């Protein structure tokens, strides 16, 4: 299950999904309060499900390109492969 909601819903929706036995991918931040972190981690371990926290953003043209991905280094045209 992907949780891509306003940040203040992350804790409740993550706990609900994990208690329903779902694997969860949640956008950053996991929670607004540090005190909620251990509760969410404990809920992940209980059903043996996977909780992944990530970012839903896509690369932008203004992001710096790593040196090993430059067109000059590869001899290919400048296409994003991220």
Integer angstrom CA distances of residue 17 from 3, 27, 53, 64: 9, 14, 14, 36
Domain contains 80: no
Domain contains 46: yes
What is the tally of structural domains in the chain? 1
Domain contains 66: no
Question: How much is the pTM?
Answer: 0.64
For 52-66, the pLDDT digits (tens) are 988 766 656 655 655
Domain contains 79: no
Task: Report the side by side order of strands in the sheet with 2-3.
Answer: 2-3, 24-27, 51-54
Domain contains 8: yes
Using the 8-state DSSP alphabet, how is residue 30 labeled? S
Question: What's the per-residue H, E or C state across 2-27?
Answer: EECCCHHHHHHHHHHHHHCCCCEEEE
pLDDT at residue 82, rounded to an integer = 44
- Rounded to the nearest integer, the mean pLDDT of the chain is 78
What CATH number does the domain containing 7 carry?
3.40.50.720
């Amino acid at each position: 299950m992907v949780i891509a909601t306003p940040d203040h819903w992350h804790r409740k929706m993550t706990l609900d999904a994990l208690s329903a036995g779902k694997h969860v991918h949640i956008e950053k931040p996991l929670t607004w309060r540090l005190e909620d972190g251990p509760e969410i981690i404990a809920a992940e371990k209980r059903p043996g499900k996977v909780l992944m926290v990530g970012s839903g953003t896509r690369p932008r043209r203004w992001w710096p390109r790593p040196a090993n991905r430059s067109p000059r280094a590869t001899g290919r045209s400048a296409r994003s492969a991220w």
